[in-house]
Amino acid sequence: KDIIPARYILTFLIFCGMCLIFGQRVCLNVAMVAMVNSSAEVEVMSMDSDTDESRCPVPESSMNVTLKSKQGSYLWTPSIQGVIIGSYFYGYVVAQIVGGRLADIFGAKRLFGCATFLSSVITCLTPYVSSLTPIWMIVLRVLLGFVHGMNYPSAYTLFARWAPLQERSTLLSLCVIGTHFGVVLSMPLTGYLCENELFGGWPSAFYALGIIGFVWFGFFTFFVYDSPADHPRISTREMNYIHRNIPFISNSKKSPPVPWCQVASSLPIWAVTIAKFCGAWSFICFQSKLPAYLDEVLHLPIHKNGLVNSLLFGALCFSIVASGKLSDYIRAKQYFRTTTIRKCFETFALLGPAACMTAIPLVKCNANAVIILLTSAMALFGLCGGGDVSVIVDMAPDFAGKIFGVSNAIASIPGILSPIVAGYFLEGNKGNVEQWTMIFYISVALYVIGAITFLIFGSAEVQSWGVISPDKTEEQQQKERTISTISTTVTVILSKDDFNMGNSSVVLSRFKRTDSEVSYVSFML
């Protein structure tokens, strides 16, 4: 028998797996600063810095370090860089639609483990493929996005069978926080390896993350099983506890047809999808282009660049957890309707960052002020942990998985578009503050659109078409009232579907109905 409960071992290994895949995803964002040869642009910029008010002057203290760090060998323009980074989401969008079904066919453990293993292989191949033409890097990133898109549906299917209701919110929160924690660890590590030329410079960052993935795969294969019944070392006490607290889970692989006509005509579904889309635009844009902004505009050395990125995503992690717990507390005390709680949190999550980004162009080249505003924007955006994280589960618990996949596929489109749009504005204008101002204001506009749409049309009520057996709902509600304080808020950042859980007892009971319909989240970010 395992000394540590099997469900906690599973949670820890999924947490580590999420750290890995997102670390492997964003590694390129920082490494690209060292990979691309922009030394000529730096020389021109430094000569014109005294007269060109559209560019920030290079501080004398960082001049030598900045120039040294820009001697890359790749002649990729901002547009090409945007296409390479954005191509990841071509595969990711497709995976959101098919991932849930593949988890049913191949098994959640097998899909999660193999996807992370393949991701590690692709990460190790990145330095070699990057030496070829850019089209091969684009193909590689598409493949990486596709395998990463398998992790969320498979992880949520595993938790559907392993996570008792009393622990589901906490265990799922840890799973999702792993994605941001991976960013927090990966970006400073990549910056350090790039600047110090340790083990060959920037390629070593990809090799290190790939090797760690191979080691993780061995532990995951040995310790994780698809269900408690399959686990050879689980204690009888834990087995009984899990089964008592997941009373409605079904082993059936059959799932009813989704009423797509009603889904397509549902204003609340479109409201949460638009809110996800608008929030994802800015988040993904700055996750991919922030290292370039800190390097080309504020002229931070690459190791400080990685640390600032880590600071921002660390603030995001803290805010997600805190907002999820706070919203759960308010809901448990029944101070407000769940819909009201979700709308309040989501409003701050979208309008707060909009205010911060409006202020960034006003401080221009004040690096400390910009970093404070960016950190505040990320922390405020994390309030979505108490906002729209699992709204689709609330509205359509019997069809949440498939609807979630389509909604997240739409919300992943900014991953393709935002780096390309940013590259368009920066083409021939790298380091130009005015061009970056346009990028900031586009994000502000989308934040405002998302917040207004969600406030007007968002809902957490169970839709009439969202349940299969309405006559069974009351029975399930009665059982769920005994644990009405249980949190079902899954604190996920970019998969923003926890908006308005109006009838949480219905949502909880129906959420457990079948693991093939488990809601999963695509964190883009």
What is the DSSP code (8-state) at residue 131?
Answer: T
Q: Which two tokens stand for residue 18?
A: 């999420």
In a domain, 61, yes or no: no
Give per-residue pLDDT as tens, 55-84: 777 665 555 544 444 456 777 887 788 888
Q: Which two tokens stand for residue 288?
A: 């991919």
Distance between CA atoms of residues 219 and 221, nearest Å: 6
**Residue 336 and residue 369 in one domain:** yes
Buried b (16+ CB within 10 A) or exposed e, 155-181: bbbbbbbbbbbebbbbbbbbbbbbbbb
What pLDDT is stored for residue 453 in this prediction? Answer: 94
Considering only residues 246 and 450, tell me which one the structure prediction assigns the higher pLDDT: 450
In a domain, 55, yes or no: no
Integer angstrom CA distances of residue 227 from 109, 175, 230, 509: 9, 17, 5, 19
Q: Which two tokens stand for residue 373?
A: 């505003």
**Residue 81 and residue 186 in one domain:** yes
CB atoms within 10 A of CB 478: 11
Distance between CA atoms of residues 21 and 171, nearest Å: 18
**Residue 159 and residue 277 in one domain:** no
Element (H, E) at 184: helix 165-196
Distance between CA atoms of residues 150 and 508, nearest Å: 24
- State the amino acid at position 39 in one-letter form: S
Distance between CA atoms of residues 346 and 348, nearest Å: 5
pLDDT at 12 over 80: yes
pLDDT at 141 over 90: yes
Distance between CA atoms of residues 372 and 236, nearest Å: 51
What pLDDT is stored for residue 342 in this prediction? Answer: 83
Average pLDDT over residues 155-175: 74
3-state helix, strand, coil in the chain (%, to 5): 75, 0, 25
Q: Which two tokens stand for residue 274?
A: 């638009």
pLDDT at 420 over 70: yes
**Residue 220 and residue 283 in one domain:** no
Average pLDDT over residues 328-344: 81
| CA neighbor of 118 nearest in space, from 26, 216, 223 | 216
Which pTM value belongs to this model? Answer: 0.70
Distance of CA 301 to the CA centre of its chain: 26
Banded model confidence at residue 353, pLDDT cuts 50, 70, 90: very high
Which CATH number is 455's domain given?
1.20.1250.20
The answer to which of 12-16, 122-126, 300-304, 471-475 has the lowest mean pLDDT is: 471-475
Q: Which two tokens stand for residue 164?
A: 């008792």
Half-sphere exposure at residue 435, Cβ-oriented, CA atoms within 13 angstroms? 18
Domain end marker among 195, 214, 246: 246
**Residue 147 and residue 80 in one domain:** yes
Domains contained in the chain, number: 2
In a domain, 489, yes or no: no
In a domain, 484, yes or no: no
Distance between CA atoms of residues 361 and 56, nearest Å: 12
Angle between helices 108-130 and 88-106 (to 10 degrees): 150
Banded model confidence at residue 323, pLDDT cuts 50, 70, 90: confident
CB 316 within 8 A of CB 493: yes
Distance between CA atoms of residues 200 and 193, nearest Å: 8
Any residues with CB less than 8 A from the CB of 434 and at least 6 apart, and which?
A: 54
CB 191 within 8 A of CB 152: no
CA angle in degrees (0–180, nearest 5) for 255-249-2: 130
- 3 state SS of 59: coil
Give per-residue pLDDT as tens, 277-316: 998 888 888 777 777 788 778 877 767 777 887 888 888 8
Per the prediction, the chain carries an average pLDDT of 76
Distance of CA 257 to the CA centre of its chain: 28
pLDDT at 447 over 60: yes
Average pLDDT over residues 2-28: 87
Percentage of the chain exceeding pLDDT 90? 18
Residue 37 — left, alpha, or beta (φ > 0 → left; ψ -120 to 50 → alpha)? beta
**Residue 167 and residue 314 in one domain:** no
Catalogue the E-assigned strands of 262-398.
Answer: none
Average pLDDT over residues 193-215: 84
CB 188 within 8 A of CB 309: yes
Cβ burial of 71 (10 Å; 0-12, 13-18, 19+) is exposed
pLDDT at 518 over 60: no
What pLDDT is stored for residue 144 in this prediction? Answer: 94
Average pLDDT over residues 78-102: 82
**Residue 239 and residue 277 in one domain:** no
Considering only residues 372 and 256, tell me which one the structure prediction assigns the higher pLDDT: 372
Distance of CA 300 to the CA centre of its chain: 25
**Residue 311 and residue 274 in one domain:** yes
**Residue 355 and residue 392 in one domain:** yes
pLDDT at 5 over 60: yes
What pLDDT is stored for residue 46 in this prediction? Answer: 44
Residue 430 structural domain: 263-479
Considering only residues 237 and 43, tell me which one the structure prediction assigns the higher pLDDT: 237
Considering only residues 269 and 500, tell me which one the structure prediction assigns the higher pLDDT: 269
pLDDT at 397 over 70: no
**Residue 173 and residue 25 in one domain:** yes
Banded model confidence at residue 176, pLDDT cuts 50, 70, 90: confident
Distance between CA atoms of residues 302 and 193, nearest Å: 10
What pLDDT is stored for residue 390 in this prediction? Answer: 63
What pLDDT is stored for residue 183 in this prediction? Answer: 82
Banded model confidence at residue 499, pLDDT cuts 50, 70, 90: very low
The answer to which of 7-16, 81-90, 348-357 has the lowest mean pLDDT is: 81-90
In a domain, 54, yes or no: no
Average pLDDT over residues 316-325: 80
Banded model confidence at residue 394, pLDDT cuts 50, 70, 90: low
Half-sphere exposure at residue 510, Cβ-oriented, CA atoms within 13 angstroms? 29
In a domain, 47, yes or no: no
Percentage of the chain exceeding pLDDT 70? 75
In a domain, 257, yes or no: no
Distance between CA atoms of residues 384 and 490, nearest Å: 10
In a domain, 252, yes or no: no
Cβ burial of 312 (10 Å; 0-12, 13-18, 19+) is buried
The dihedral formed by the CA atoms of 348, 354, 356 and 360, expressed in degrees to the nearest 10: 180
* Site of tokens 């483990």: 113
- DSSP structure string for 249-281: -------PPP-HHHHHT-HHHHHHHHHHHHHHH
Q: Rounded to 5 degrees, what are φ and ψ at 82?
A: -65, -40
**Residue 315 and residue 421 in one domain:** yes
**Residue 422 and residue 304 in one domain:** yes
